[in-house]
Amino acid sequence: MARILKKEQWSENIFSMLIEARDVAKAAKQGQFIILITKEHGERVPLTIADSSVDEGWVQIVFQVVGKSTLELSRMNEGEELFSFVGPLGMASEVEKFPGKVIMIGGGIGIAPIHPIARKLKEMGNYVVSIIGAKTKELLIMEDKIQEASSEVIVATDDGSKGKKGFVNVVLEEYLAKEAENVSKIWAIGPPIMMKACTISAGKFNKPIIVSLNPIMVDGTGMCGACRVTVGGETKFACVDGPEFDGALVDFDELMARQRQYVELERKALELYKAKEGIA
């Protein structure tokens, strides 16, 4: 179980893996996530599902190397087994046939989790406009799959190396300035700062926006409360009440502060691991 069937390196720090997990693939719905542990000593790492195949029995994860656990994961190879792989977790995205267009915004590796939601929405007959953005064209991922899952795709890069130059929230605002009356729903997934900016942009046009939150988690099943977020003035557990929430109600500043909780310890763990493994 949980064998790495396929591993691809998409950029210096972005990897994709297909993990053998037949039952998870069968149950997975758009917007849900998994938690994995690399090896026995590992921590529980939540990752949103990028794709899955019931026939072939795999779940795709896409991750960026940011700390020890993701670095260790990136160094595991095809054929190796993960110590633990559990899912699907969290509530599925609430999808339906919306009256107008639906905008899907993916920033950085946040492009991966919008893929299954966009695909599902398109299957249901929605007109899906995907706005995908990255720092630079080398970091732009899954463009082909997003094309397939969308009716229209707008690409943006911070440095203008591909598509429009600028942040996705600016592209969103430009789009809404022309098309606001035809847009009935927006999803935005990416770093909290990007989701916050998109929420502000959507708010200017009074458009509902769903965001997928990625706070620190431990069990991921509502048991510990590590992932608590403030939504509409109430404490929610992102793992079981979310991960998706109405962006307009989310306290993004608190989310960002909570994500920084262990930065020094995480840095220390990364340095020790690099020294031990002889990684520059």
Phi, psi (deg, nearest 5) at residue 104: -115, 120
SS3 76: coil
How many residues contact another protein, by CB under 8 A?
43
The CB-of-221 to another protein minimum distance in angstroms stands at 5
Adjacent-strand bridge partners of 235: 230
Q: Does 65 engage in binding with another protein (CB under 8 A)?
A: no
**Which of 82-90, 134-142, 190-198, 202-210 is the region at the interface with another protein (rule: CB under 8 A)?**
82-90
- Contact set for another protein, span 231-250 (CB under 8 A): 235, 237, 240
Q: Of 8, 111, 206, nearest to 119 (Cα)?
A: 111
Near another protein by CB under 8 A: residue from 52, 60, 69, 214: 69
Q: Does 37 engage in binding with another protein (CB under 8 A)?
A: yes
Q: Does 87 engage in binding with another protein (CB under 8 A)?
A: yes
Q: Does 254 engage in binding with another protein (CB under 8 A)?
A: yes
CB nearer another protein, residue 165 or residue 267: 267
Structure tokens at 83: 């110590």
> Does the CA dihedral 188-191-193-194 come out positive or negative?
negative
Our CA dihedral for 164, 166, 169, 170, rounded to 10 degrees, sits at -80
How remote is the C-alpha of 239 from its chain's centroid?
14
DSSP state at residue 42: P
- Contact set for another protein, span 180-219 (CB under 8 A): 218-219
Phi, psi (deg, nearest 5) at residue 213: -90, 150
**Which of 21-29, 94-102, 144-152, 188-196 is the region at the interface with another protein (rule: CB under 8 A)?**
21-29
Phi, psi (deg, nearest 5) at residue 164: -70, 150
Near another protein by CB under 8 A: residue from 44, 135, 137, 164: 44
What residues make contact with another protein under the rule CB under 8 A?
Answer: 23-24, 27, 32, 37, 41-44, 68-69, 83-89, 218-219, 221-226, 228-230, 235, 237, 240, 254, 257-258, 260-262, 265-266, 268-269, 272
